[in-house]
Homo-oligomer: A and B are copies of this chain.
Amino acid sequence: MTPDRLSRTFSALADPTRRAMLARLASGEASVTELAEPFDMSLPAISKHLKVLERAGLIVRGREAQWRPCRLKARPLKGASDWLERYRIFWEQSFDRLEGYLKELQGKEKRRGRRH
């Protein structure tokens, strides 16, 4: 079974090397050698990561025979972001609860401070 698009996107992002590659490409296109540079990794390992990103539609590679620069394609990231957005209310709720709890604690501390 071919994984659906969203699963492919999330799966491609589930690796720190691949996320670092995307971060590098956010500042402009780069060759495979340039992308490999910061990592202590074999070229085949680097190529494998790039293939995952390419299959997920997160990068495209230029057609120039020698220097085939990679370029970021952010479109699939929008799908991932839209999916997560539906849950925003939940993490904001939990922050509100935490904030409320901290305020309550601070209030207690103040009252205690006044007594001493």
Q: A residues bordering B, Cβ < 8 Å?
A: 3-4, 6-8, 10-11, 13-16, 19, 22-23, 26, 72-75, 77-78, 80-81, 83-88, 90-91, 93-94
CB of B7 within 8 A of CB of A16, answer yes
Q: In the bound complex, do residue A10 and residue B13 qualify as a contact, i.e. CB atoms below 8 Å apart? A: yes
Distance A42 CA – B77 CA, assembled complex (angstroms): 32
Q: Decide: B75 and A94 in contact? CB cutoff 8 A.
A: yes
Chain B residues closer than 8 Å to A4, beta-carbon distance: 16
Copies of the chain in the assembly: 2
Beyond the given pairs A26-B87, A74-B93, 15 more chain A to chain B contacts, judged by CB atoms under 8 angstroms and listed by A's residue number, are: A7-B15, A7-B16, A10-B10, A10-B14, A11-B14, A13-B80, A19-B83, A22-B87, A26-B86, A26-B90, A72-B87, A74-B90, A75-B94, A78-B91, A84-B84
For the complex of A and B, 5 pairs with smallest distance between CB atoms: A74-B90, A11-B14, A10-B14, A74-B91, A78-B91
